[in-house]
Structure 1
Amino acid sequence: MSERTIALVTGANKGIGHEIAAGLGALGWSIGVGARDDRRRADAVERLRAAGIDAFGVPLDVTDDASAAAAARLVEDRAGGLDVLVNNAAVAGEMPQQPTGVDPATVRAVVETNVIGVIRVTNAMLPLLRRSASPRIVNMSSSVGSLARQSGPDPDRTAGPVAVAYAPSKTFLNAVTLQYTRELSGTNILINACCPGYVATDLNGFRGVRTPAQGAAIAVRLATLPDDGPTGRFFDDAGIVPW
């Protein structure tokens, strides 16, 4: 195992994922830039290296079993292990997503990336994480997935627009996070979910009010938790988000 902390960030070629990679890399970590597009991945690695970060590309399509397995082998060969996994890759799906009119294929595609993709990549990387002295898993969720906020008195304000594919995919991801927490109880793996806030990215047509760097801050904090830090929680910059 390398003496340097090793992190893999999925969907790290742009937006929040790229800023998470930059934030962790600025700590002196070695960063695997997970992305499926060869050109965008190479460009992201080049930008990070230009900033003095030890970055390396990891070809990764989170919807493909073979790709996830190959990514784990590459991280093992290139870095010798893995300490932190940030599951950031996500899609919004075609809009609008009114439940009475949505194409079920849209829901299926969003869940395949946002939920099953997280399970696929996490399981591929777990053998490496289990060897780490201080392993961390960070799942990038969203407050729109909070059932408490969805069912609150003003969901349009607290949980965003009606989106039967995207919002429930984050609810599903939150539930998956808790299931991993239960199974991994008693190990040294800390796993948490977080909301970056309403960040201006291509996922929302750049309508967000926060910068990608601001959105990345909570993931960087959870990736660097001390060994006695929390696990099985859902955070944003203000603190704990209700499930």
Structure 2
Amino acid sequence: MSLPPPPLPLSGVALFLDFDGTLAPIAADPDAVFLPEGGAEILRALSAKLGGALALISGRDVRDLSARVPADVWRAGGHGLEICAPGEKPEAQAVAAPQTLADAVNAIADSVEGARVEPKGEVLALHYRAAPEAGPALQAAMEKLIAGVDGYILQPGKMVLEAKPVHANKGITLTRLLDRPPFAGLTPVMAGDDATDEDAMEEAIALGGYGVKVGPGDSHAAYGLKNPAAVWRWLEAAAQ
């Protein structure tokens, strides 16, 4: 069992947070996931105490993410394909994945009852939480498909398989944000629950910061929290 993270310092630190599985429990229907009551206020207060150096980095499309979190914090959607500064509205339309790829991923999903595709701009997420026994077959089919698509990789996650551009990477996003104000020169802290978050945690550690793993599983992080409720207790303590 990982140690709980230390109290979050309010100076010299840049805080990066995943959304699904970290700030909100994962649900079978991604559209049903929202921040808990009071969560937006905690994020705003903590962002202010950190001098604005708080960013949410999510696999969700930035338009979707922005509808679920405060607009006055940094938001990076699509694993960082699009970034919005506080108060900035996302572009009205996302850049879509190639139609031939979308058609092929939908065909794979249609072959399994309970599987569904969530378009997230250039990212395509194939969810199989309602058909977990089909996971290995779906992954094999997706691996075969993505092997023939230039510029795309397959990212397995918790009951999801994501076809995403090679540059859609939370680690790359964390380092990009650290190159600009108000994050520049600060020590990064990254909290997340899934495989995509490990890239960002690894970068945070390499840059002298640390990671916080939410939930069970192997991780680069030295610290861990049991679930999103524990994450909120940690954040609220710093925001007060």
- Both structures adopt the same fold (TM-score exceeding 0.5): no
TM-score norm. by structure 1 comes to 0.39
Q: Which has the higher helix share?
A: 1
